[in-house]
Amino acid sequence: MSTSPATSFLRSGLFRRIIRYAVIVCLGCALAYLAYLRQPAPAPVGPTHEYHFFVFNTACNLQVWGDVPSAQANDAFRELNAVLQTLHDTINIFSPDSELSRLNQQAHDHPVVCSETLWDIIKAADEAWRLTDGAFDVTIGPLMQTWGFHDPATALPTEADIAAALQKVGFDKLILDQEQRSVSFPIPGMRLDFGGLAKGYALEKGSAVLTQHGLEVFLLNLGGNILASAKTPASRQPFRVGIRDPRSPDRLFATLELQGACISTSGNYQRFRLIDGKKVGHLMDPRTGRPGDFWAGVTVRTPRGLYSDVFSTAVFIGGADLAQKLTKRYPGTGFLLLKDSPDQKTLVQETIGDLKIIKNAETPPQQP
């Protein structure tokens, strides 16, 4: 039987040599690509512009990378600073002249019409209350006052004091008029306190300003609440952000990779009062009327600035169960919960959701 030319070629040594050569070339390409993937990422470069400022009663910092002219970066920073200062002046509970202070003084007598800025923050507070099943509540003002955070206290509150304050707490008690943009307090003594969401809300407003000015690579740090742009200085390498050790806040517990997201940490290691020799933390449970003290610290990474601030506070109060719910509801959200146990030399750690922690890493540029 005769053999066709095609069959002869397929059986020939030349065809086998071609196949071997093709396989070698393909393997070489694959190995070269794997080597590229495994090569170390470029070392991060320092920011081309950096600004330090003070707002929300805390030190803040903006770092900008890239080929950005100084005039462009300076204009962006000036508007950023102006927007954040206006926000602070609007909701500063410690200033009797702020719009929030006037609302707290007058809303039990008559409906108080709010500016667009204050009304937008109140709507954000409403959203936060609903998202966290009431674990985050800006009506905790009476509790903060009872525990000595608005006015100095010389003694711990009694059970009667706490019960009386709780009668004035509850976002669902507020009377909100969307059309009039007004707020009324049905119970005398109710007070709003936006301390638990102000910096997270400000991160979102600040990011919008920077983006409008054409900035693409930046870190915005508002007293430990940090927003990282989606683009980073070094290809394939996210920003790295430090997590403070609650037992020794001048040291880092770990570092966290951050890109196109925000981070916030809640803990009582920085803001507390000593009353009758007892350390009282500032994170209040609006349901019990008492400071939360189960966790040493709660860190959250999530895409939105508002959520980062609100969720860290709420989970410090609501615990791991609430963290599990929030990670299921909001993709890209993750928590690091740290518990201080007297019989443990190190903090007990629990990680929930989408969070990449790098322990014992080199000290990064930002430390919440």
Higher per-residue confidence, 283 vs 134? 134
* Separation CA 25–CA 9 (nearest Å): 22
Cα separation, 286 vs 125, whole angstroms: 14
Structural domain boundaries in the chain? 49-359
What is the arithmetic mean of pLDDT over 19-23? Answer: 45
Confidence at residue 348, expressed as pLDDT on a 0 to 100 scale: 77
Alpha-carbon span 67 to 49, nearest angstrom: 10
Instruction: For the chain, give the percent of residues with pLDDT over 90.
Output: 60
Rounded-to-integer distance, Cα 358 and Cα 263, Å:
15
Q: Is the pLDDT of residue 8 over 50?
A: yes
Check pLDDT > 50 for residue 339.
yes
| Average of per-residue pLDDT across 13-39 | 42
On whether the 49-359 domain is CATH 3.10.520.10, my answer is: yes
Neighbours of 46 (CB within 10 A): 9
For residues 153-176, average pLDDT: 91
Number of continuous H segments (helices) and E segments (strands) in the chain: 9, 16
368 or 220, higher pLDDT = 220
Could you tell me the pTM of the whole model?
0.82
Does the pLDDT at position 67 exceed 60? yes
pLDDT at 24: 39
Quote the pLDDT of residue 254. 84
Break the chain down into helix, strand, coil percent, rounded to 5. 40, 25, 40
H-assigned helices in the chain: 5-11, 13-38, 70-91, 99-106, 116-131, 141-146, 159-166, 198-212, 305-329
Q: How many whole angstroms separate alpha carbon 106 and alpha carbon 90?
A: 15
DSSP 3-state of 327:
helix
Is residue 11's pLDDT more than 90? no
Average pLDDT over the chain, rounded to whole?
Answer: 84
Any residues with CB less than 8 A from the CB of 28 and at least 6 apart, and which?
A: none
State pLDDT tens for residues 250-275.
Answer: 788 888 999 999 999 987 555 556 65
Taking the C-alpha atoms of 53, 56, 57 and 58 in order, what is their torsion angle to the nearest 10 degrees? Answer: -50
Q: Which two tokens stand for residue 313?
A: 């506070």
